[in-house]
């Protein structure tokens, strides 16, 4: 079923027969226009994280990976791992203050003043940073997110 | 690992595996069942009235404004039930099974009023045909049973009246208890901001409007959390703050005292004017009391607002102080008004219409007149004995006694209607016209209208909440005398909900500092409980001590209204029941019972306190364990 959704995005590019493992990637614009993703402020980051080459263009495998991690049945740790990668905008394996600022602005569509954004980011680092290095590592993030009551229900796409 | 997930997900689709058709079928049924459950949950949520509207308001204006609308919706629910009780058990039986209009003197428009009975002006004033209908107390006959079902009308009327009050008490207290439970749960705030940032976006959203609302609600939620954070970080110069707060309270007290004195003074003056004849004075003097009370109601809250800026409280606490002060203002005004009136009466024993209705002298006079009138009818026809058939007199011509219950009911209905009109007009003029003015005249005005004065208005939570609560108090007071009041109130709340939702989204702007409503709405509930208590006092007093009118209503002819209960016990129940009841109502039995209840209240209170403390201890333990983990 997922395969048909993938194919529907670009029928002329995707062959019906996948037994010979053709190398077909769909560009980001098509992925980002899917109804499940088009209102999501983080769709660009999601596509980048799951695409093999890191530029947002996805093969069928990447596509399937993405939706399986975001489905209901994926385990919590797996989701936390991928969530960390999504929110890490500069791909340095740490969520630093700049990443947090970008997240907040994407979430509020730039409605908060810079002081407010600053306050929020400082509070987040204060709350979650356990090793006191001024940024969130994967362990900090996981420690914080597995205790969140609605992480599983919000980090979920149904297709 | 990912390959495993892949295979698990598509097991049903990838070939029938080991030929396990049954397994595939089971999987399909499970999926269908889950889908059905999801749809049913969606349906249930869609059934909650106005949920989408309130969510929209909440995401744009914050949870405190939304709490007003949730309160409004809850009140609507209560009024629906009250309406169901009064309509189903009182109005419908009378309309279907009671004697129709025109068959009895009390059910007919008297000859004198017949000419104007159908005019719109009379109907708007709730006299004329509206007065002599099921809507008011006076229409009901005092027959013990009506119709072929032997429906006991007076008993039903009495029980419905008592039942509405009892139900209201029960539900208010139950809601307070439920809210207290919620509040005690508390929440884990250790990762508040982090969770807000990383888990607030719902990835399931696929609709642009919902996305808009979600963005707005995330922004509002961030702002609320920021306000909380700022409040907790504020550094306080304790002495200065305390001094300012004491000063503010003193100023508020002065304002209250000043307004009380002003009302007293004005009422005295109006009595003086009345004595000298109202024709000598202009419009202001005639309506002085009403105007002064309305003006005080309009300006004092703004004054309180200014005073509260001295106090520098958390916005939620400031709202509570504001509500409390306005409440005290209205109550104080009302009491001063009543005291001033009574003072006047004591001074002169003047014949004010309000206190005339309890005047038994007038009833005796009317009874005397009626016997004379009847005698005059017989005089012309039969010389001596009483075996003659009764004379056919058109019911409209029979002289009628005074009916104070209907008059009281009418006053309440008029008050409710005028209150509704005032609220709607204030919203339309105060909010809508103001917004239109600011929007369109901004281009050709000297200063920036949108940022300076007058700008768009904010939603006035305290004013609206108090209006709602006082309105409900009036309904409770009047519904015994006018069974139509809950119906009118249901209609009013329904239209008010739509009008205010529209007005808020269209003409108001969110407040500067958006704050989170307290989890329990117990403050509103407490005020509601107080008003409920106050408003049932007059009705209970009249039931117990004042004899009902002799010529109208279901209790006419009895010396006290509650006698209908004893009458029912004697006539309808088997005799041993009456005996048992007689024993049970012996004071010797009731007093120990009351004592037992008081003791059990004390015991339950003590145990609940100890549970709360145990709860806090456990929470602290959890917290320390978690902190240890973090290190």
Closest CB to A157: pick one of B204, B207, B229: B204
Residues A88 and A154 in one domain: yes
pLDDT at B186: 44
pLDDT at B449: 66
pLDDT at B357: 47
Q: Is A9 on the interface with B (CB under 8 A)?
A: no
Residues A59 and A85 in one domain: no
In degrees and rounded to multiples of 5, residue B595 shows phi and psi of -60, -45
Over residues B121-146, the mean pLDDT reads: 76
pLDDT at B185: 42
Task: Please name the residue that has the structure tokens 């508390």.
Answer: B186
pLDDT at B190: 66
End-of-domain residue from the set A24, A43, A70? A70
Q: What is the DSSP letter of B596?
A: H
The answer to whether B229 contacts A119, with C-beta atoms less than 8 Å apart, is yes
Q: Is B194 on the interface with A (CB under 8 A)?
A: yes
End-of-domain residue from the set A70, A89, A115? A70
* Interaxial angle between packed helices B315-348 and B238-275, expressed in degrees from 0 to 180 and rounded to the nearest 10: 30
Structure tokens at B8: 């698990």
Closest CB to B198: pick one of A1, A87, A153: A87
End-of-domain residue from the set A70, A103, A129? A70
Over residues B570-574, the mean pLDDT reads: 76
pLDDT tops 90 at residue B188: no
Residues A87 and A153 in one domain: yes
Q: State how far the Cα of B73 lies from the Cα of B494, in Å rounded to an integer.
A: 9
Q: What is the largest CA-CA distance in chain A?
A: 55
Confidence band, pLDDT 50/70/90 cuts, at residue B342: low
| CATH label of the domain that carries residue A121 | 1.10.238.10
Contacts of A64 in chain B (CB under 8 A): 6
Q: Is B14 on the interface with A (CB under 8 A)?
A: no
| Poorest-pLDDT segment among A2-16, A52-66, B368-382 | B368-382
DSSP B175-238: HHHHHHHHHHH----TTHHHHHHHH-S-TT---HHHHHHHHHHHHHHHHHHHHHHHHHH----H
pLDDT at B514: 62
Q: Is A152 on the interface with B (CB under 8 A)?
A: no
Q: State how far the Cα of B551 lies from the Cα of B479, in Å rounded to an integer.
A: 20
The answer to whether B194 contacts A124, with C-beta atoms less than 8 Å apart, is yes
Residues A65 and A98 in one domain: no
Enter the pTM of the model: 0.73
CA-nearest of B344, B354, B342 to B272 is: B344
**What percent of chain B is modeled with pLDDT above 90?**
7
Contacts of B200 in chain A (CB under 8 A): 107, 154
Structure tokens at B393: 């007199």
Q: How far is A143 from chain B (nearest CA, A)?
A: 9
pLDDT tops 60 at residue B94: yes
Q: Is A26 helix (H, G, I), strand (E, B) or coil?
A: strand
B112, B113, B115, B118: CA torsion to nearest 10:
-160
pLDDT at B354: 45
pLDDT tops 70 at residue B241: yes
Q: State how far the Cα of A151 lies from the Cα of A155, in Å rounded to an integer.
A: 6
CB A58 within 8 A of CB A66: yes
E-only strand ranges, A28-139: none
Tell me which residues of chain A, numbers 57 to 96, contact chain B at a CB-CB cutoff of 8 Å: 64-65, 68, 70-71, 73-74, 78, 83, 87
Nearest CA in chain A to B191: A127
Residues A100 and A147 in one domain: yes
**Angle B9-B11-B13 from CA coordinates, rounded to 5°:** 100
Contacts of A110 in chain B (CB under 8 A): none
Domain count, chain A: 2
Q: What is the overall mean pLDDT for chain A?
A: 80
The answer to whether B204 contacts A158, with C-beta atoms less than 8 Å apart, is yes
Q: Is B226 on the interface with A (CB under 8 A)?
A: yes
Residues A100 and A53 in one domain: no
Residues A97 and A131 in one domain: yes
Residue range(s) defining the domain that contains residue A139: 75-158
Residues A57 and A87 in one domain: no
Contacts of A144 in chain B (CB under 8 A): 191, 194-195, 198
Q: State how far the Cα of B151 lies from the Cα of B281, in Å rounded to an integer.
A: 55
Query: Please, which residues have CB within 8 angstroms of residue B300's CB and are 6 or more apart in sequence?
Result: B255, B259, B326, B329
**What percent of chain B is modeled with pLDDT above 70?**
79
Closest CB to A151: pick one of B199, B204, B207: B199
Q: State how far the Cα of B31 lies from the Cα of B33, in Å rounded to an integer.
A: 5
Closest CB to B2: pick one of A65, A111, A153: A65
| Poorest-pLDDT segment among B102-106, B363-367, B515-519 | B515-519
Residues A47 and A81 in one domain: no
Closest CB to B193: pick one of A38, A73, A127: A127
What confidence tens digit (pLDDT) does each residue in B451-502 have? 666 677 777 777 788 888 888 888 888 888 888 889 999 999 999 999 988 8
A34, A52, A107, A147: best to mutate for the B interface, most B CBs within 10 A: A107
Contacts of B13 in chain A (CB under 8 A): 1
Nearest CA in chain A to B201: A154
Over residues B60-65, the mean pLDDT reads: 76
Residues A79 and A148 in one domain: yes
Which residues are paired to B458 by β-bridges? B509
Contacts of B197 in chain A (CB under 8 A): 100, 103-104, 107, 120, 124
The answer to whether A127 contacts B192, with C-beta atoms less than 8 Å apart, is yes
Q: Is B505 on the interface with A (CB under 8 A)?
A: no
Q: What is the overall mean pLDDT for chain B?
A: 77
Residues A86 and A47 in one domain: no
Q: Is A138 on the interface with B (CB under 8 A)?
A: no
Q: How far is B320 from chain A (nearest CA, A)?
A: 27
Residues A53 and A18 in one domain: yes
Q: Which residues of B147-184 are buried (b: 16+ CB within 10 A; e: fewer)?
A: eeeebbbbbbbbbbbbebbeebeeebeebbeebeeeee
pLDDT tops 90 at residue A4: no
pLDDT at B610: 93
The ranges assigned to domains in chain B are 57-236+407-554
Task: Tell me chain A's radius of gyration from C-alpha atoms.
Answer: 17
Confidence band, pLDDT 50/70/90 cuts, at residue B554: confident
The answer to whether B226 contacts A83, with C-beta atoms less than 8 Å apart, is no
Contacts of B6 in chain A (CB under 8 A): 64, 68
pLDDT at B184: 47
């Amino acid at each position: 079923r997922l395969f048909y959704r993938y194919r529907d995005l670009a029928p002329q590019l995707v062959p019906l027969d996948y037994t010979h493992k053709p190398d077909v990637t769909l560009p980001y614009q098509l992925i980002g226009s899917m109804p499940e993703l088009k209102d999501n402020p983080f769709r660009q980051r999601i596509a980048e994280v799951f695409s093999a080459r890191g530029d947002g263009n996805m093969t069928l495998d990447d596509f399937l990976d993405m939706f399986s991690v975001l489905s209901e049945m994926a385990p919590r740790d797996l989701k936390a791992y991928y969530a960390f990668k999504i929110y890490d905008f500069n791909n340095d394996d740490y969520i630093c203050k700049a990443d947090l600022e970008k997240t907040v602005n994407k979430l509020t569509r730039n409605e908060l003043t810079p002081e407010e954004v600053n306050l929020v980011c400082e509070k987040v680092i204060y709350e979650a940073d356990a090793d006191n290095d001024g940024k969130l590592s994967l362990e900090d993030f996981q420690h914080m997110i597995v205790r969140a009551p609605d992480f599983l229900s919000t980090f979920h796409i149904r297709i | 690992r990912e390959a495993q997930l892949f295979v698990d997900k598509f097991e049903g689709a990838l070939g029938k595996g080991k030929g396990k058709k049954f397994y595939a079928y089971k999987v399909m049924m499970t999926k269908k069942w889950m889908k059905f459950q999801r749809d049913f949950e969606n349906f249930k949520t869609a059934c909650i009235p106005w949920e989408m509207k309130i969510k929209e308001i909440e995401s744009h204006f914050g949870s405190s404004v939304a709490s007003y609308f949730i309160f409004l919706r809850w009140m609507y629910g209560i009024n629906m039930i009250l309406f169901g009780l009064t309509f189903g058990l009182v109005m419908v039986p009378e309309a279907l099974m009671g004697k129709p209009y025109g068959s009895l003197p009390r059910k007919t428009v008297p000859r004198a009023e017949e000419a104007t009975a159908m005019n719109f002006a009379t109907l708007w004033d709730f006299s004329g045909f509206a007065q002599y209908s099921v809507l008011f107390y006076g229409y009901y006959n005092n027959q013990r049973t009506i119709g072929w079902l032997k429906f006991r009308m007076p008993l039903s009327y009495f029980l419905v009246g008592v039942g509405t009050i009892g139900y209201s008490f029960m539900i208010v207290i139950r809601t307070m208890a439920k809210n207290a439970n919620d509040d005690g749960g508390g929440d884990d705030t250790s990762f508040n901001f982090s969770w807000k940032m990383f888990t607030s976006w719902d990835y399931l959203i696929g609709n642009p409007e919902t996305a808009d609302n979600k963005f707005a609600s995330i922004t509002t939620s961030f702002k609320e959390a920021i306000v909380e954070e700022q409040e907790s970080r504020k550094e306080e110069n304790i002495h200065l703050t305390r001094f300012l707060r004491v000063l503010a309270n003193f100023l508020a007290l002065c304002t209250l005292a000043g307004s009380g004195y002003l009302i007293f003074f004005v009422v005295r003056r109006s009595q003086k004017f009345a004595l000298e004849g109202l024709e000598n004075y202009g419009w202001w003097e005639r309506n002085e009391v009403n105007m002064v009370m309305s003006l005080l109601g309009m300006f004092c809250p703004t004054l309180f607002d200014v005073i509260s800026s001295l106090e520098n409280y958390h916005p939620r606490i400031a709202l509570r102080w504001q509500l409390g002060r306005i409440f005290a203002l209205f109550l104080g005004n009302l009491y001063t008004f009543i005291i001033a009136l009574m003072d006047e009466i004591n001074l002169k024993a003047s014949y004010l219409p309000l206190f005339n209705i309890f005047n038994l002298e007038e009833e005796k006079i009317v009874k005397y007149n009626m016997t004379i009138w009847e005698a005059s009818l017989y005089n012309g026809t039969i010389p001596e004995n009483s075996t003659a058939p009764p004379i056919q007199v058109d019911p409209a011509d029979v002289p009628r006694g005074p009916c104070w219950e209907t008059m009281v009911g009418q006053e309440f209905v008029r008050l409710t209607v005028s209150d509704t009109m005032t609220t709607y007009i204030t919203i339309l003029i105060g909010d809508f016209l103001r917004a239109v003015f600011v929007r369109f005249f901004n281009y050709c005005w000297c200063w920036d209208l949108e940022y300076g004065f007058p700008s768009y208005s904010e939603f006035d939570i305290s004013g609206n909440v108090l209006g709602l609560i006082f309105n409900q108090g009036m309904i409770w007071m009047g519904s015994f005398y006018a069974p139509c009041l809950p119906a009118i109130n249901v209609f009013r709340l329904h239209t008010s909900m739509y009008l205010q939702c529209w007005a808020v989204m269209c003409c108001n702007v969110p407040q500067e500092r958006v704050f989170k409503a307290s989890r329990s709405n117990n403050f509103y509930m407490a005020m509601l409980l107080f008003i409920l208590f106050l408003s049932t006092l007059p009705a209970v007093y009249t039931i117990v001590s004042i004899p009902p009118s002799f010529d109208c209503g279901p209790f006419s002819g009895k010396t006290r209204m509650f006698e209908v209960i004893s009458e029912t016990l004697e006539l309808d129940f088997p005799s041993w029941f009456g005996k048992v009841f007689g024993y049970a109502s012996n004071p010797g039995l009731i007093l120990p019972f009351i004592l037992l209840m008081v003791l059990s209240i004390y015991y339950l209170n003590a145990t609940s306190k100890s549970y709360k403390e145990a709860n806090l201890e456990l929470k602290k333990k959890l917290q320390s364990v978690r902190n240890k983990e973090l290190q």
